[in-house]
């Protein structure tokens, strides 16, 4: 049988290798070609994301710069006083140092107080949407916007000239009758200015003109494409379009000049500017083929005003494709020859250790968890054998742990059940005598109250002490009955946060008397199926325990949240804490560290949570406080 299986494996390997080899030779070339193209397109998409971040980073830098200067105390005072000379002194160097083409201040109505680039032009109301937005909302705004030539002339005649373009005829561009472009596109940030009392007194806005500014596109080329070249040409290019016009680019014309003034192709125009969708594909850019990615640039109103572009020279990927196809064919032929030679040896080498593991798995299935696989060598199959042995050891260990946990749980349940029965019997037997004793004590006191004999005062005091202590016995009896009752919960949909709030209201007086701060960290959690009254009893017990353990002025933090599909309620106090050696005993009946405690409160809590199929855990550090963690399922099965 071994020989037959080895032969089958060898034949199978041979058949698969032959078929794959033949198919690879015929289909592999197309797959490689498509894969390289896809790789290039994925890269250019990633490059576009990086370019977008560089573009946004420049806009954010401008916003931070404008906001920083708008918040300067001296600037605010100068705006309030309309002191243009002081404003020029404060902001003139900032505009030059930070290369801001525009830096302008208006009053609260949008009327220009000062243009730092052109101080003689003031008193008008600039016409741009981003300024209007900030005047209306009194909030910081930053966006790409279009300036008309009239607005640019107000800021400076040189800016208007910088934005002027004669349109250059471009192959495959959308036909147009337009011959020149006079408006400009800029990155602008607008920041409201407030006086010391918080009154809105004006606006500071500024930014950089993108037309003929190559800072961003060249940074994209150096950061994203690492200024890499291929056969003497830049492999990566970037462009900022104003509508379909290149206003900032490192794409070169044949004469080596930047291709500003040229236009985007018709197909990109339709996809990006008209439909507002990104475009990724092979495209002819000015004078060569590129793998390209385009996406729209929008102004503050959401209108499309331009395009951000990155592209990778296609020639590099075409050469990569041809070389890869040749290499692939050679590897396939060599691989077929080698695979045919070693397939038989490989089949035999695999089967031998696998049979050992198969036999070991059958022994484990029969219950022999001590069985181990003999591991030889350091290859993957040896690792599989080691993992199998580890799995068998883990199964054995977990089996033993499960048995021990089950045994302890059964012992605990039996002990609690026995104690519950005993407590119920004792409670019922003691309750009636206590009631009789209290009745006779009150009758004797009533008789003594009618007597005017001063010698009876001591007897009255004794009777008061007897009544108080007998009442305490009654409380202990009631706690015993609560512990022994073990009633099944009355299940319905409840909101844990509401139960906690009602519990806190009932105990608010006690918490206030001890000056305990309560911090609620409630998350929005779904209702659970539980007994409202029993959960309230549980929460009140834990809150009272925390209050009694916490010194005056302490803090109780209650947190609700969803953890691993369980509702988790956490009570954390800043009390004295519980010694580590006592943590394992606190849920046992009659165990207490309080002078007047019964030792049944936490036992009752444990029983309630257990009947709700939940878990309760306690963590404590002496001198720092205690944390009780309750986990309840969303629905009880």
Length of the chain as a residue count: 637
Q: Is the pTM of this model over 0.75?
A: no
- Quick one: pLDDT at residue 293? 94
For residue 60 the two structure tokens come to: 């954010």
Nearest to 587 by CA among 595, 578, 574: 578
- Quick one: pLDDT at residue 161? 94
Q: Is 570 helix (H, G, I), strand (E, B) or coil?
A: strand
- Quick one: pLDDT at residue 57? 95
What fold, for 487-633? Heat Shock Protein 90 (3.30.565)
Please state the three-class secondary structure of 479-506 as a single string.
HHHHHHHCCCCCCEEECHHHHHHHHHHH
Helix axis angle for 380-450 and 456-485, nearest 10°, is 150
Collect the ranges in the chain with pLDDT lower than 50.
1-3
- Quick one: pLDDT at residue 522? 92
CB 245 within 8 A of CB 146: no
522 contact partners, CB below 8 Å, separation of at least 6? 497, 500, 558, 559, 560
Query: ∠ CA(567), CA(568), CA(570), 5° rounding?
Result: 155
- Quick one: pLDDT at residue 346? 66
Nearest to 590 by CA among 582, 599, 581: 599
C-alpha 353/C-alpha 373 separation (Å) is: 9
CB 285 within 8 A of CB 237: yes
290 contact partners, CB below 8 Å, separation of at least 6? 237, 282, 283, 284, 311, 312, 313, 314
- Quick one: pLDDT at residue 598? 53
- Quick one: pLDDT at residue 531? 86
- Quick one: pLDDT at residue 264? 92
H or E element: which one contains 34?
A: helix 2-70
Give the model confidence (pLDDT) of 457-478 as tens digits: 666 676 777 766 676 666 566 5
- Quick one: pLDDT at residue 592? 60
What is the DSSP secondary-structure string of 334-379? HHHHHHHHHHHHHHHHHHHHHHHHHHHHHHHHTT-TT--PPP-SSS
Nearest to 630 by CA among 551, 555, 570, 561: 570
Cross-strand bridge partners of residue 518: 556
CATH of 52-316, picked from 3.30.830.10, 3.40.50.300, 3.40.50.970, 3.30.450.20, is 3.30.450.20
Nearest to 571 by CA among 544, 533, 593: 544
Cα Rg of the chain (Å, integer): 42
CB 568 within 8 A of CB 631: yes
- Quick one: pLDDT at residue 1? 43
CB 236 within 8 A of CB 225: yes
For residue 584 the two structure tokens come to: 């394992």
**What separation in angstroms does the CA of 256 have from each of 192, 226, 240, 423, 488?**
44, 20, 18, 99, 87
Q: Using the CB atoms, write b or e for 516-541: b if 16+ within 10 Å.
A: bebeeeeeebeebbbbbebbbbbbbb
Query: Among positive and negative, which fits the CA dihedral 390, 396, 402, 407?
Result: negative
Domain boundaries, the chain: 52-316, 487-633
C-alpha 351/C-alpha 8 separation (Å) is: 12
Q: Is 198 helix (H, G, I), strand (E, B) or coil?
A: coil
């Amino acid at each position: 049988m071994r020989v037959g299986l080895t032969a089958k494996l060898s034949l199978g390997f041979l058949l698969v290798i032959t078929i794959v080899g033949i198919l690879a030779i015929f289909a592999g070339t197309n797959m490689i070609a498509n894969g390289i193209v896809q790789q290039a397109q994925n890269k250019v998409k990633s490059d576009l994301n990086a370019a977008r971040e560089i573009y946004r980073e420049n806009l954010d830098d401008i916003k931070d710069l404008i906001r920083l200067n708008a918040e300067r105390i001296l600037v605010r005072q100068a705006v309030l006083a309309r002191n243009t000379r002081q404003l020029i002194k404060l902001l003139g160097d900032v505009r030059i140092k930070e290369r801001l083409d525009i830096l302008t201040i208006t009053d609260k109505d949008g009327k220009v107080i000062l243009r730092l680039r052109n101080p003689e032009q003031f008193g008008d109301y600039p016409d741009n949407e981003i300024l209007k937005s900030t005047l209306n909302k009194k909030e910081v705004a930053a966006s790409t916007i279009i300036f008309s030539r009239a607005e640019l002339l107000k800021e400076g005649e040189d800016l208007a000239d910088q934005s002027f373009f004669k349109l250059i005829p471009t192959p495959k561009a959308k036909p147009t009758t337009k011959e020149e472009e006079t408006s400009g596109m800029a990155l602008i940030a607008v920041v409201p200015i407030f006086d010391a009392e918080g009154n809105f007194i004006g606006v500071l806005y500024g930014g950089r003109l993108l037309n003929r500014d190559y800072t961003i596109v060249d940074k994209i080329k150096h950061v994203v494409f690492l200024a890499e070249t291929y056969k003497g040409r830049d492999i990566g290019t970037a462009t900022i379009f104003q509508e379909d016009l290149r206003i900032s680019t490192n794409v070169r014309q044949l004469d080596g000049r930047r291709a500003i003034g040229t236009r985007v192709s018709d197909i990109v125009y339709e996809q990006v500017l008209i439909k507002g969708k990104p475009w990724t594909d092979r495209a002819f850019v000015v004078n060569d083929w590129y793998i390209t990615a385009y996406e729209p640039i929008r102004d503050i109103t959401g209108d499309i005003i331009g395009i951000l572009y990155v592209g990778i020279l296609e020639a590099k990927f075409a050469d990569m494709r041809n070389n890869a196809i040749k290499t692939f064919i050679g590897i396939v032929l060599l691989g077929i020859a080698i695979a045919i030679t070693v397939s038989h040896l490989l089949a035999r080498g695999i089967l031998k250790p696998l049979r050992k593991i198969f036999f070991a798995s059958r022994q484990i299935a029969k219950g022999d968890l001590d069985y181990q696989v003999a591991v030889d060598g350091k290859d993957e199959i040896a690792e599989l054998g080691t993992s199998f042995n580890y799995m068998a050891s883990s199964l054995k260990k977990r089996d033993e742990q499960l048995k021990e946990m089950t045994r302890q749980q059964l012992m605990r349940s039996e002990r609690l059940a026995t104690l519950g029965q005993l407590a119920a019997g004792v409670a019922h037997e003691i309750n009636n005598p206590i009631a009789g004793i209290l009745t006779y004590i009150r009758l004797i006191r009533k008789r003594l109250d009618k007597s005017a004999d001063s010698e009876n005062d001591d007897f009255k005091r004794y009777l008061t002490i007897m009544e108080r202590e007998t009442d305490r016995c009654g409380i202990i009896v009631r706690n015993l009955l609560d512990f022994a009752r073990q009633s099944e919960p009355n299940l319905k949909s409840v909101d844990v946060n509401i139960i906690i709030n009602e519990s806190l209201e009932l105990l608010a007086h006690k918490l206030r008397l001890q000056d305990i701060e309560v911090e609620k960290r409630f998350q929005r959690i779904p209702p659970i199926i539980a007994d409202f009254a029993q959960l309230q009893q549980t929460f009140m017990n834990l809150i009272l325990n925390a209050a009694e353990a916490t010194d005056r002025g302490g803090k109780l933090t209650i947190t609700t949240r969803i953890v691993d599909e369980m509702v988790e309620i956490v009570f954390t106090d800043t009390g004295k804490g519980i010694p580590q050696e006592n943590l394992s005993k606190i849920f046992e009946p009659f165990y207490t560290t309080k002078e007047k405690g019964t030792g049944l409160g936490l036992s009752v809590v444990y029983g309630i949570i257990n009947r709700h199929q939940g878990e309760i855990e306690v963590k404590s550090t002496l001198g720092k406080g205690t944390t009780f963690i309750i986990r309840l399922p969303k629905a009880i099965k």
